Amino acid sequence: MDPKGKKRKMAEHDDRVYYNGFISGVCVRLGQSRAVRRYSDLVGEEQGPTPGDSEENRLIPNPALTELPFPNLPASQEGLDGAPPLSPFEEICDEEALQIVALPPLPPSAPSLRDYVDQSETLSTLVHLGVDLSKLQARRGVGSLLLRLGLKDLQDRLLFLRDLGLQEPQLGPLLTHNPFILTETLHNLRARVLYLQSKRFRLEDVGSMVSRAPYLLSFSVQRLDNRLGFYQRLLQLSPHKTRDIVTRLPRLLCGSLEPVKENLKVCELELGFRPNEIQHIVTTIPKLLTANKKRLTETFNYVHNTMGISHALIVKFPSSLLCIRERHLFLRYLGKAQYDPALPGYLPLDRLVSLPDREFCCQLASASLQDFELFQKTL
């Protein structure tokens, strides 16, 4: 075959490869864009663009957040491309051979992860971020997981978390609680964030939720969707209120559903609240959904039966179902335990619960903090 014919055939082959690759890419994109039926309906009938359509809420790497302080990186080398790796068959001179520094091999076995820190860039980076290796090595399989993790994979996931808005001091506690997020693919992590954005969660709210519920992004899109649908249907909430309680208490998407179901039954059957009252209580104080059932019952009995607070007042001030016993006894000792708005000397229940000890003593009890602390020792 003449040279021109050979070049023409190679060009036709390249065109076919490009065309097939292009068609495959289109098919993949079309397959990903199909509408998937979801259990939750948080978008509801609300109008307006979704966060995913807004430039400011798209999960785009932020250049200002992609500079992480990794150890052992000279300042003079920042921003430079890495040198191409040497081939094992390439001849080098004696001077170049003397400059090669071989890292010491990892110990075959060691009693602690800290014994590997000096030889592992991944572990040294985690220590620099504040990860507690002593807690991680006590968990089965985590030590070998971290030793197999490459530095590039670690950096990619750290940059992803930074782009969500997490700051460096938040990364250490998060990875200490959930090191398995480092084994998730970036594709899956981005898909879960984009799903939450499609349900009108703001990107900054997603980052805050991940920092307070470290396992949030370890769950599949289907599980997240099932959980959102569960709370929306069970509590008969609007899309806005469902997003609100999940944003304020993101562990609702991670923990078991059984305590939630039990607490709702307790509120209705044992404590005597109506469904609309329960809805108001849990949207005001979401943590009551996951509170200890025994403690919730004891607190209600104390507030309702001992303090004489009616159901209507409890619904109006649901924070009274939190820890309240010590403060009430102190006020009763001082003769100031009066919670009826129609009588003089009225003390709001929400302030009774929400104020810090010092402000409670100063503003409500008109006593010193030392007096309150001494009184608590007598209980």
Q: What is the pLDDT of residue 272?
A: 95
pLDDT-wise least confident of 207-211, 224-228, 235-239, 369-373: 369-373
CA 125 to chain centre: 21
pLDDT digits over 174-198, tens only? 999 999 999 999 999 999 999 999 9
Q: At how many degrees (to 10) do helices 151-163 and 186-198 cross? A: 10
Query: Model pTM?
Result: 0.65
Structure tokens at 265: 């039954």
**pLDDT score for 165:** 94
Query: Could you give the residue ranges of the DSSP H alpha helices within the chain?
Result: 3-32, 94-99, 121-129, 133-137, 142-148, 151-163, 168-177, 186-198, 203-212, 221-234, 239-248, 258-265, 275-284, 293-301, 311-316, 325-334, 349-354, 357-359, 369-376
Residue boundaries of the structural domains of the chain: 257-317, 323-379
pLDDT band, very low/low/confident/very high, at 102 (cuts 50, 70, 90): low
Mean pLDDT (the chain, rounded): 79
Give the model confidence (pLDDT) of 304-359 as tens digits: 998 888 999 899 888 888 768 888 899 999 999 988 888 888 888 888 887 888 88
91-111 average pLDDT score: 62
Question: Could you report how far apart the first and last alpha carbons of the chain are, in Å?
Answer: 102
